[in-house]
Amino acid sequence: MSMFKVIKADLAIIKERDPAARGILEILICYPGFQALALHRISHLLWNTGLPLIPRILSQITRALTGIEIHPGAKVGRGVFIDHGMGVVIGETAEIGNRCLLYQGVTLGGTGKEHGKRHPTLAENVVVGAGAKVLGAINVGTNTRIGAGSVVVRDVEANSTVVGIPGRVVHQSGVRINPLAHSALPDAEANVIRNLMERIDQLETQVSTLQSSLSEISGGAIPRNLSPGEAQSLKDREIIEFLGEDP
């Protein structure tokens, strides 16, 4: 695909997803995310030709102008939207699929000092919320949403929602959510805390019942029926999934 068609796709996705975009001229002049991507496509082209220094100089000029740092070696698909973009960092071996959406402060970073692939790969239609960090040579599946401030260090399957530090996966089968609707992210931590509080309340009730029954037995009376209470297995499973199975 020609660079003109790729840039056209970048313009189209901004008009589609940003209600504040009122025209092509405004996007060209006032959208640093678009400017950074356009300049990156030039530096990436030069990088692929084997020029040793010019692509890096262009990427640093782009960083100074837009506040967005994209290594010229990074591979970026068409129709990618970096919204606002200040503080976005994209590493050398990062790969971003078509129609991805990145908010300000996002880092697609590497871990360790090894050579080769060391930055994440985002499939198509991935949304990465403000301040989120995706680290290492991991894969993030299609249509995945990463919540603001999350830190993702493991592979993520397609059609998932990731929240928290470290990032926890919450599946939402069959639910279609506007990529701009960050308020729709589930609060996994609140759900787990609520389940733990319910478990504590149940255990305290059982202890109190057992104490009463022991008092009745010591007094020669027949204890009342001891009910085991509501099963907690499903809620326990939710807690285990949130915490992860690794030690």
Supply the pLDDT for residue 247.
44
Distance (Å, whole) CA 23 – CA 142: 29
Distance (Å, whole) CA 171 – CA 173: 6
Distance (Å, whole) CA 195 – CA 119: 36
Distances in Å between the Cα of 38 and the Cα atoms of 73, 76, 97, 247 are 14, 11, 16, 45
Name the strand (E) or helix (H) holding 145. Answer: strand 145-146
pLDDT along the chain (247 residues), means of 10: 78 83 85 91 91 91 93 92 90 92 92 83 92 92 89 88 77 53 58 75 80 75 58 57 54
Distance (Å, whole) CA 155 – CA 201: 36
| pTM of the predicted model over 0.75 | no
Supply the pLDDT for residue 174.
46
Helix residue spans in the chain (DSSP H): 3-17, 24-30, 32-48, 54-66, 188-218, 233-243
Does domain 3-184 sit in CATH 1.10.10.10? no
pLDDT tens figures, 70-103: 999 999 998 899 988 899 999 999 999 999 999 9
